[in-house]
Structure 1
Amino acid sequence: QELLRTMAQQHDNMLKLLKTENEWLRRGVKARLKRNEGRKQRVLQLREDAKNNPSKIHKMRLELEREAKHFNRGEGINRQKMLFEVEKLGLTLGDKVLIKDFSTRILQKDVIAVVGPNGSGKSTLLKALLGRLKPTSGIIKMGEITIGYFDQHREMLDDNLNLIETFCPHGGDRVDAQGTDYHVYGYLKNFLFPREFLDKKVGTLSGGEKNRVALALLFTKKVDCLILDEPTNDLDIPTINILEEKLQNFPGAVILVSHDRYFVDKIAKKLFIFKGDGTIEESYKPYSEYLEDEKEFAEMDAMQAEFSKAAAPIAVQTQKAKVFKLSFNEQKALEKLPLEIDALEKQIDEINQCLADPKCYEKKGISVLAQELEKTKILYEEKVEELLTIQEKEEAIEALKNA
């Protein structure tokens, strides 16, 4: 049903945006990105789109209704299975608001890392998706799917069983993993277990060994989605490499909580970032790039705070004595970001043109195009904000030098 409201909501958003942009056009304010002419043309195009959009909505609604019939069943062109749909999710534990007003969709091939400070609610989100925690507000819709869950407490393991009993609970010595039949030792050898471990009780294993057993067991399950809570804890580097390979070859969705930035960089295609105040930000940046940006923002805030105190001549001289300059990465970003922003604008225009052409959107699928448009817009906004931040820092540095 949410998809059936997509185009109407987009039209409402278009009208709101048009109102804002019209006010900007009337004021003639200098654009922060020094791209006034391009923005002016977009305003004029937006006006034209707003006039034509109602008839497009009617045509596209018919297509959306057709696609809605295939929710969790369709295998049409480029269509992905919807696993979760989260609407205005809120979760409160005691007096602490962990999640507020969070909405998202999770599709069949999504690989999502949930990141943020300790105690911010990351594991709570996983439990809500698993149905183990009832939302304080909002809803979580789950498709007809099966989930494999790995948690740092290794709940899936029975300490009283040995490894053969764990992997062959119905007897025998064969294991099916992702459609391939293995001898139990041949399979466990992939997780660095020697043959003599087959008869060992799970309860006698170390924490790292138990984690390897739990991971090996996880990949014997036929599931649509893997949910992992701190999977790299207590793992050595060879085992982490094995886990990375298994996850990269997994055909379904992956949702994981991890503090390991290098692991997240290799695996995740999308981030759910807990900000610590209940809000969750979605980003398609690599995790390391996001952390680097946060560091740059903090440095800029600190620099601006120092600059604001430089009212007295002595304070000014103190500030001037400090050498502020853009980092090497920021200087490179100033060169490449405008090009990336232009490319993303063209990509957004192309998707919108496809959404306006029945031949195009019937071929590709509106739901797929809508997801692609949302992803591209988020990335576009991130790039613009990154460029604005660096430009403001550059201006602050120049002002400081001239003070």
Structure 2
Amino acid sequence: MAVLSLHNVDYAIGSHPLLTDVSLHLHRSDRLCLTGRNGTGKSTLLRLASGRLEPDSGQLSKDADVQVAILDQEFDPGMTGSALSYASWADTATPDEPELQAARLHAAEEALTRLSVPFDTVLTSASGGMIRRVMLARVLASRAEVLLLDEPTNHLDIDTVLWLEEYLKRISSRDGTAMIIVTHDRAFARAITTRVAELDRGQLYTAECGIDEFQRRREIMIEQERSVHREFDRKLAEEEVWLRKGVKARRRRNEGRVKRLLEMRETYRNRRQEESSVRLQAGSGLRSGDLVFETEDLSFSYGTEPIVSGLTTTVMAGDRVGVVGPNGCGKTTLLRLLIGDLSPVSGSVYRGTNLQVAYFDQMRALLAPDSTVFENIGDGYDTVESGGKSRHVIAYARDYLFSEADLQKPAGVLSGGETNRLLLAKLFARPSNLLVLDEPSNDLDADTLDLLEELLLDYSGTILLVSHDREFLDNVVTGCLVFSGPATVTEHVGGYSDWRDRIAVQGSDVPESRTAGTGRPGRTGTAALSRPVDRVRKLSFRETQELEALPERIAGCEAEMEEIHQTLADADLYRSDDGGKVQELSARLARLEQESEQLYERWQELLSIEEGQTS
């Protein structure tokens, strides 16, 4: 029996329908991951399920004694008092529920401790990230039968995300707590999901499976939909040609055919068009010097609090380096020291030549909130440089899913995902050879995140990346700078998972190696950071499509080669030809043989990657 259900719900914003005939049934112990593009209505669906919003039609049903707690993206304006009093629901406590209040207090203390929030934090003066963690603690301590969690991993470091995974699984199994979770963190979703639902163009699709299996089914469904649309479009075009012939269409016996054509036109107008994808392309700058950064006994502190102590490291051109550590340890400070925004207290930072820096700031300081999207992208110009070509801002902005109407909006009114897309558009519109990215994956949907990964893997310059997204780090970086203790930074080869695996084997966080000839502990050197890492790589969405298409392409090559072989075997060809036809066919055959060989090699390469990710 469902603990919460939505029945045939419609919801529109103005004249724009956001949800259409949506039904959803949530059962005890369900951990349902709600996916979909930014702006498709995921947060709205959670608010409808919580009762905070009323649907235009349809209904929400649940038993009267079923309690629902929601972690919303928007801050609660009524948050006052201390973190512990708010998280433990002291503001709603009644004398006749002492056991419930005691349980909530205990759960709130555990959650706040694990979320690194002091109990006596004053909410009216706390930072946005701190308030967000207190809101999460309140939901976890609620003892509600249903939890609705909108991006619960935002502002959490990786260790805290790992704790949250186990906590949610524990209360789901022990107490039967049901939950709907919206998250951009793929590793988190993969770890906790028992069911998946996707919002796509106003409609909801559900499946009893995990994230990876759902993604596979989704790709098949999308291709089937495209195939149906292609066949419909072909038939519609044929009927339009027939109608334009004019005379026959006016005969009475053909009136039915005309009526069907009009119905087809209406069906086409009402079709749910496939959503556009973000198209990312970073502008390549001048080639930097081979040496990008070299630090020598670098130290920095805020007052008497040390942040970095005695760091000696080297970053070379083409390195992709992740910076990993808990919240507040100094990751952003280290980035600013490397690029020169801050000066060290002691030690030195050498910066290479010809550096062109594109800095994705976690605080989004590069954006002017009162200026329009157009003004932020163009910086006073109507054109930008993209992929070595000059493009008008309007056309360039479409690649980042900004319409002409969006271009007139002030940047300050954009959603979190839109703000991040705008910052990426602004950064990639200018040539660079060093990308410095501080939490770029926040609020991006899964499809955009996949495309960002591919862009970074293809980027010819150097990358410094701070992220709490484990899968993003694993897929992108070749080495990590890890805050392994107070003010202590060590270097490790590979991504986040490689570092954790190494700790598990070694029993402590020690550096991978020493740089030859220096003898300094904690310094692995660029050769170690940038060498290939032996870890599982998954196929991207584009590579999956390519793998599926390759057998047909190979078969087409072989069929044409066989046809040419048969033609060349015909003696009459040589008697009737002066050599031109034979030469043309022979040249074509040579090209096909080369193409076939290349296709086979690519097929085997993609198959080996696919086998590696499923083994």
TM-score, normalised to structure 1's length? 0.53
Partner in structure 1 of residue 311 of structure 2: 102
Aligned partners of 1:239 and 1:197: how far apart in 2?
Answer: 18
Partner in structure 2 of residue 72 of structure 1: none
Partner in structure 1 of residue 406 of structure 2: 197
Aligned partners of 1:273 and 1:371: how far apart in 2?
Answer: 15
Q: Quickly say closer, same or farther: Cα 1:250–1:125, change in 2 above 3 A.
A: same
Aligned partners of 1:376 and 1:183: how far apart in 2?
Answer: 37
Shift of 1:262: 0.4
Asked if the contact 2:292–2:351 (Cα under 8 Å) also holds between the matched residues in 1, the reply is yes
Shift of 1:104: 1.2
Partner in structure 2 of residue 154 of structure 1: 364
Partner in structure 2 of residue 126 of structure 1: 335
Aligned partners of 1:276 and 1:269: how far apart in 2?
Answer: 22
Q: Quickly say closer, same or farther: Cα 1:371–1:231, change in 2 above 3 A.
A: closer
Residues 276-327 of structure 1 deviation map (CA, whole Å, 9 limit, x = unaligned): 22221111133113224435666x9xxxxxxxxxxxxxxxxxxxxxxxxxxx
Aligned partners of 2:530 and 2:454: how far apart in 1?
Answer: 27
Counterparts in 2 of 1:1-400, with a 5 A limit?
A: 81-144=290-353, 145-172=355-382, 174-295=383-504, 371-372=526-527
Aligned partners of 2:395 and 2:294: how far apart in 1?
Answer: 39
Shift of 1:226: 1.0
Asked if the contact 1:191–1:239 (Cα under 8 Å) also holds between the matched residues in 2, the reply is no
Aligned partners of 1:286 and 1:84: how far apart in 2?
Answer: 20
Shift of 1:182: 2.7
Partner in structure 1 of residue 602 of structure 2: none
Q: Quickly say closer, same or farther: Cα 1:149–1:182, change in 2 above 3 A.
A: same
Residues 11-56 of structure 1 deviation map (CA, whole Å, 9 limit, x = unaligned): xxxxxxxxxxxxxxxxxxxxxxxxxxxxxxxxxxxxxxxxxxxxxx
Aligned partners of 1:100 and 1:203: how far apart in 2?
Answer: 38
Q: Quickly say closer, same or farther: Cα 1:162–1:81, change in 2 above 3 A.
A: same
Q: Quickly say closer, same or farther: Cα 1:167–1:160, change in 2 above 3 A.
A: same
Aligned partners of 1:231 and 1:266: how far apart in 2?
Answer: 14
Asked if the contact 2:493–2:499 (Cα under 8 Å) also holds between the matched residues in 1, the reply is no
Aligned partners of 1:375 and 1:196: how far apart in 2?
Answer: 45
Shift of 1:156: 0.6
Aligned partners of 2:490 and 2:349: how far apart in 1?
Answer: 18
Shift of 1:371: 4.9
Aligned partners of 2:367 and 2:447: how far apart in 1?
Answer: 22
Q: Quickly say closer, same or farther: Cα 1:295–1:265, change in 2 above 3 A.
A: same
What is the aligned-residue RMSD (CA, Å)?
3.3
> Could you list the runs of 5+ residues in structure 2 that have no partner in the other structure?
1-286, 518-524, 535-615
Asked if the contact 1:178–1:219 (Cα under 8 Å) also holds between the matched residues in 2, the reply is no
Shift of 1:158: 0.9
The structure whose Rg is larger is 2
- The structure richer in strand per residue is 2
- The structure richer in helix per residue is 1
Aligned AA (2:420): N
Residues 121-173 of structure 1 deviation map (CA, whole Å, 9 limit, x = unaligned): 1111011112222211100011232211111111111122212222223333x
Shift of 1:80: 5.7
Give the match's secondary structure for 2:341.
coil
Aligned partners of 1:119 and 1:376: how far apart in 2?
Answer: 27
Partner in structure 2 of residue 67 of structure 1: none
Asked if the contact 1:208–1:235 (Cα under 8 Å) also holds between the matched residues in 2, the reply is yes
Give the match's secondary structure for 1:176.
strand
Give the match's secondary structure for 1:275.
strand
Aligned AA (2:434): C
Aligned AA (1:260): D
Aligned AA (1:118): N
Shift of 1:261: 0.6
Give the match's secondary structure for 2:405.
helix
Asked if the contact 2:315–2:526 (Cα under 8 Å) also holds between the matched residues in 1, the reply is no
Asked if the contact 1:272–1:283 (Cα under 8 Å) also holds between the matched residues in 2, the reply is yes
Residues 80-113 of structure 1 deviation map (CA, whole Å, 9 limit, x = unaligned): 6211111110112233222111111111111100
Shift of 1:245: 2.4
> Could you list the runs of 5+ residues in structure 1 that have no partner in the other structure?
1-74, 301-343, 353-369, 381-403
RCO higher in structure (CA 8 A, sep ≥6) = 1
